[in-house]
Amino acid sequence: MNRLRISKGPALLVAFFVLAGLPQDSQAITAWARKYGVSCNVCHVAGYKLTRAGQNFLRNGHKMPGGQEKEANISDYLAMTAKLRSWQTNKNTKTLATGVETKEIRNSFEAHALSVYSGGPLDKGFSYFTEIYLNENEKKNPLENSKKDDGLTEDESDMGDWARSKLAEMYLQYTTSGEDIFYTARMGRIMPWLLHLHGGGARLEYSRPLPMTETVYSENPYRAFSRQFGASGGVNFKDAFLELGVVNGTGKYENTVEIGTDTRKDIFATLDYSFDANGSMGGVYYYKGRYPSHWFTPSKYIGDDAFDQLGLLGNYTFDLRGIKGALIGSYFAGKNKFNTTAINGFEQKSKGYYLEAQSHLKDGDMAPYFRWDFFDADTSFKDNEKKGPVLGFHWKPMDHGRFVLEWSEYKNKNASKSLTTKAITAATTETANRSATLEIQFMF
């Protein structure tokens, strides 16, 4: 049988830009826009990036400061959203000694997720927010998950757990009245608001930056982008905001509420200052924690992994004589200290950063962007860094949705360092991961 093979990357590009060139008249309306009778552009610019009003709305319990409450209506508190994706990945691995390359190409369509957003004021200063995935695609692959001839690997059902629901965020919040000065506290599944505003949550792009998503060490699940169970308190004074929080310290693990009998908690602190109504701000982030790595791999570790991370984050969102856009960036520096079976006081330092430029065209309905990502899990030796460019285009063709086309290429070598002798093993391969993704998201 003859089979027609079409490279999805070029096809996606052509279809996307032909459609994007058609004239559109769009103004987004969602649950909270329905509640207050305003356009989503009051709180958002260029996709889901938040303006100053949107930042205040988020931190003030998903309610307008000083706004008059009306009778509760479920449509004012509930929004449904779905994400559809088409993607292709090209993984090229080159052996440095011989120059021989191996290639792996994959592509697919998927209904990635169906989610519910719900939140807003309750009464007497209390409010709530929740984001839950009713279903998230598991990317089943029968060839890789089926029973093998070894007699050991059992079949994995194509249906998975029949739902694969996931709780992203959920918390109850209390906020005092006031616009320039207010206090707030929340408990549940949370993420520092400063990180939410700089790649962790509301954003223009499809993907999150590497420094937000990479773990600082292989056995430690901590990463900057972590939605954990805990509590935080904050104070807003005019254009400055301070948040202090305590969390379980489970890092990237989505559903974990405890690690064995570990009773220690991690802490975080953020301080930021907003410069204008567009949402421009600068801030500092600090996280300190401990992780019982020795419980998982006692052959390597003696005692906990004590670690901390400092981050500088900011964005400048501008409108200069009709030229609109944003410059966004962050820098993270971390340190992990632990005892191994051979070395006391083993220390690893990590760093990562990203820089991004966005152009907001047609009132943000069309927005190309470019980002450079970098992450180094151990700065004491070379050739273990991961880095590369990200190029994307955001398009909002309708009132209740958006299209994002994104291409990225990350490169890294496989050099490593021994935890027992500190000996460095030189890199033997270099891997280039190229990815092109079209995400279609709609909400009502």
401 within 8 A of 442, measured Cβ to Cβ = yes
- More reliable by pLDDT, 170 or 165: 170
Using alpha carbons, list the distances in angstroms from residue 110 to 87, 95, 441: 9, 33, 12
d(CA 195, CA 146): 39
- pLDDT, averaged across the chain: 86
Residue 151 confidence (pLDDT): 53
Residue 261 lies in a domain: yes
Residue 21 confidence (pLDDT): 44
Residue 14 confidence (pLDDT): 43
Residue 129 lies in a domain: no
Residue 139 lies in a domain: no
Asked if the model's pLDDT at residue 393 lies above 50, the reply is: yes
Share of the chain above pLDDT 70, in %: 84
Asked if the model's pLDDT at residue 126 lies above 90, the reply is: yes
Indicate the SS3 state at residue 15.
Answer: helix
N residues, the chain: 444
Q: What is the pLDDT averaged over residues 142-163?
A: 58
Q: What is the pLDDT averaged over residues 56-65?
A: 83
Looking at 16-25, 59-68, 183-192, 253-262, which range is the least confident one? Answer: 16-25
Structure tokens at 40: 């989503």
The region, left, alpha or beta by phi > 0 then psi within -120 to 50, assigned to residue 120 is: left
| H/E element, 34 | helix 31-36
Asked if the model's pLDDT at residue 26 lies above 70, the reply is: no
135 band by pLDDT with thresholds 50, 70 and 90: confident
Residue 25 confidence (pLDDT): 36
Phi, psi of 74 (to 5 degrees): -60, -35
Residue 153 lies in a domain: no
Q: What is the pLDDT averaged over residues 17-46?
A: 57
Asked if the model's pLDDT at residue 290 lies above 60, the reply is: yes
24 band by pLDDT with thresholds 50, 70 and 90: very low
Residue 253 confidence (pLDDT): 87
d(CA 317, CA 45): 9
Q: The pTM is what?
A: 0.88
Q: What is the pLDDT averaged over residues 324-350?
A: 94
236 band by pLDDT with thresholds 50, 70 and 90: very high
Structure tokens at 139: 């990317």
Asked if the model's pLDDT at residue 152 lies above 80, the reply is: no
Q: What is the pLDDT averaged over residues 174-186?
A: 92
Looking at 67-71, 140-144, 382-386, 405-409, which range is the least confident one? Answer: 67-71
Structure tokens at 26: 């769009």
Residue 124 lies in a domain: no
Structure tokens at 136: 């998230």
Residue 27 belongs to domain spanning: 8-110+179-443
Closest CA to 10 of 107, 151, 131: 107
Residue 5 confidence (pLDDT): 45
Instruction: Count structural domains, the chain.
Output: 1
Residue 364 lies in a domain: yes
Residue 34 confidence (pLDDT): 67
Residue 150 lies in a domain: no
Phi, psi of 156 (to 5 degrees): -110, 125
286 within 8 A of 269, measured Cβ to Cβ = yes
Residue 364 confidence (pLDDT): 85
Closest CA to 336 of 284, 298, 287, 299: 287
Looking at 187-201, 248-262, 364-378, which range is the least confident one? Answer: 248-262
CATH number for the domain that contains residue 240: 2.40.160
What is the number of other CB atoms lying within 10 angstroms of the CB of residue 128? 18
Asked if the model's pLDDT at residue 420 lies above 90, the reply is: no
Beta strand 281-291 with 301-320 is antiparallel
**Per-residue pLDDT tens digits for 72-97:** 778 888 999 999 999 999 999 999 99
Residue 171 lies in a domain: no
Asked if the model's pLDDT at residue 13 lies above 70, the reply is: no
Residue 183 confidence (pLDDT): 96
Q: Which of 30-34, 35-39, 200-204, 270-274 has the highest mean pLDDT?
A: 270-274
